[in-house]
A and B are shown apart, each in its own frame.
Chain A
Amino acid sequence: MHNYTLAQLAAGLRAGEFSSEELTRTCLARIERFNPALNAFITVIPERALDQAKAADQRIRAGEGGPLTGVPIAHKDIFCTQGVRTSCGSRMLDNFIAPYDATVVEKCDAAGLVMVGKTNMDEFAMGSSNETSCYGPVKNPWDLTAVPGGSSGGSAAAVAARLVPAATGTDTGGSIRQPAALCGVTGLKPTYGRVSRWGMIAYASSLDQGGALARSAEDVALVLQVMAGFDPRDSTSVDQEAPDYQAALDDSIAGVRIGLPREYFGDGLAAEVVECVQEAVAEYRRLGAEVMEISMPNTRLAVPAYYVVAPAECSSNLARYDGVRYGYRCQDPQDLLDLYTRSRGEAFGAEVKRRILVGTYALSAGYYDAYYLKAQQIRRLISDDYQRAFAEVDLILGPTSPTVAFNLGEKTGDPVTMYLSDIYTIPVNLAGLPGLSIPVGFVKGRPVGMQLVGNYFSEARLLNAAHRYQQVTDWHARAPAGF
């Protein structure tokens, strides 16, 4: 059963081939068996999941089920879940039981999806390897000595190892697409504002966006349908109805114009990754797409600008963790300052501290213009690059990450090297555009991901282009040995 796609599982449930309870038990058994090796889950909730599954079975029997009623899902531990610990991968929130559900969780519940647990992640979504989690790193199912990518590493690993058919994620600079690439699954970061951020713990609010990881574009489309939509509780939610993401999946892509930015195929990109991506480009040509070279001249400035904007927003967002109202508090504080500084100092990990410090510095008196203002101007230049490109092409194609999954511990000593693994994903967040990663091959047994980027609200077109590719290839259907 675990090898079925989400679409197949949903069909099986509706046809009564198996019950949600049976399916949920299968997922829970697989999590119990494989999670010790993968560390993909921070919290597993068998009893609650089985209650939800039984309720889903009743709904289905009564003919009241929706398209995904009874299908298991895992939520990244950044989404608040009422009554279930929401840790954000941090010691700061290790004891935090959210008092309400995130909109995404609420929508999934309403659709009848069964939450089996909360997935591991980089602390406060700050990381590209899932090694900054206070619960320890997640392992890549394709090679247990490799990182799964981050920050949604637990979600990507859980989907890749077929512990769950789909999982939610969030993406601030590549945190859905990069782990999707490194774990060989399909992951979509929607347009900024498409999915509600309400109840999604904030890292960098002008960049954060929720999305989904699953084994195919079709499956991602099904989950996005549940997640997307206007939410009055999120002031940046876009008041625009979500289209039917399945409707256009099978459309022909003949004549679709695909741009390859020459800057995405430059220095630092592994030759074997280029080969896989070029092979995928050839496949798109065979499908009738028109492929052309384009230029995105400001690409190389994206990571530097991101590491001002994101830390600046992080330093103000994380100011809320003060040891007073919820979360970690240090022992025996001497005075209020000691309470603040020690609670924060003891509960935040090294990478979170670095970003808070960089952000505090960039926003401090005398440095604002040189860093924050400059970065926001560069953000504009990058956004303009995209809009110029979208005057010529419908989609932009390139690698998702410059290398396949690296080894655990390989980049932890050098933050800047780690940051560069998001070089192709970060510009998309700065512009607020939708981006998707799909598997397009392997290098020495480790998956290669390819990214497609579209203009604002073009999720349906991205999913269509990915689905058509997945109809003629089987990279997405491969499963890691041993799972």
Chain B
Amino acid sequence: MSLTADEVRKIAYLARLAIREADVPAYSRNLSAILEFVEQMNAVDTLGVEPMAHPLRSVQRLRPDEVNEHNQREQFLAMAPQTEAGLYLVPKVIE
């Protein structure tokens, strides 16, 4: 499997990751090498093997629906790059 420059740009867009145009060939090369390496998996037949998503067969625990955290809005907003009137600010989204 080798990834073309266009495919690299498309994946980068999907991942919302700006990559420099000059770096596209290197990403194309490196990602192709990684995918080629990963495709060694195809050497083994896994038909009927149950996928393992998680090491432990754990079930999601439930807890009583009780308030266990206090509002820390000010503290969290203080970490944000830009806020106003208790809101996070981003560039204009709606025209």
Contact = CB atoms under 8 A, between A and B. Distances in A.
Interface in A305-319: 305, 307-308, 315, 319
Interface stretch (A27-35, A378-386, A474-482): A378-386
Nearest to B79: A326
Interface stretch (A44-52, A62-70, A123-131, A332-340): A332-340
Contacts of B90: 324, 333, 336, 339
A235 B27 contact: no
A346 interface: yes
A358 B35 CA distance: 8
Contacts of A432: 54-56
A79 interface: no
Nearest to A359: B15
Interface string A223-240: 000000000100110110
Interface in A386-441: 414-416, 419, 430-433
**Residue with the highest number of chain A CB atoms closer than 10 Å, among B13, B37, B93:** B37
A107 interface: no
A2 interface: no
Interface in B59-78: 60-61, 63, 72, 75-76
Contact of A304 (B37, B58, B81): B37
B39 interface: yes
A327 B79 CA distance: 8
Given A193-B58, A325-B79, A329-B81, A356 B44 contact: no
A358 B31 contact: yes
B80 A304 contact: no
Given A354-B30, A360-B14, A380-B50, A192 B55 contact: yes
A381 B49 contact: yes
Interface string A147-166: 00000000000000000000
A346 B52 contact: no
Contact of B18 (A345, A373, A377): A345
B30 A325 contact: no
A300 interface: yes
A24 B39 CA distance: 50
B38 interface: yes
A430 B52 CA distance: 9
A97 B79 contact: yes
A353 interface: yes
B40 A301 contact: yes
B38 A378 contact: no
Interface residues of B, number: 52
Interface in A265-309: 298, 300-301, 303-305, 307-308
A206 interface: yes
Most buried by A among B14, B52, B75: B52
A334 B49 CA distance: 48
Contacts of A364: 11, 14
Given A326-B80, A341-B16, A301 B31 contact: no
Given A336-B90, A416-B37, A357 B76 contact: no
Contacts of A325: 76, 79-80, 88
A344 B56 contact: no
B91 interface: yes
A35 B93 CA distance: 47
A357 B8 contact: yes
B46 A96 contact: no
Closest 5 CB pairs of A and B: A432-B55, A345-B18, A376-B51, A329-B81, A377-B46
Given A206-B54, A329-B82, 10 more contacts: A99-B72, A325-B76, A326-B81, A334-B91, A341-B16, A354-B34, A379-B52, A383-B55, A430-B55, A433-B55
Interface of A: 96-97, 99, 192-193, 206, 232, 235-236, 238-239, 298, 300-301, 303-305, 307-308, 315, 319, 322-329, 333-342, 344-346, 348, 353-354, 356-358, 360-361, 364, 371, 373-381, 383, 414-416, 419, 430-433, 456
17 contacts: A192-B56, A235-B61, A236-B56, A304-B39, A333-B91, A335-B92, A335-B93, A337-B16, A342-B18, A345-B20, A357-B11, A375-B38, A376-B52, A378-B41, A378-B46, A416-B34, A431-B55
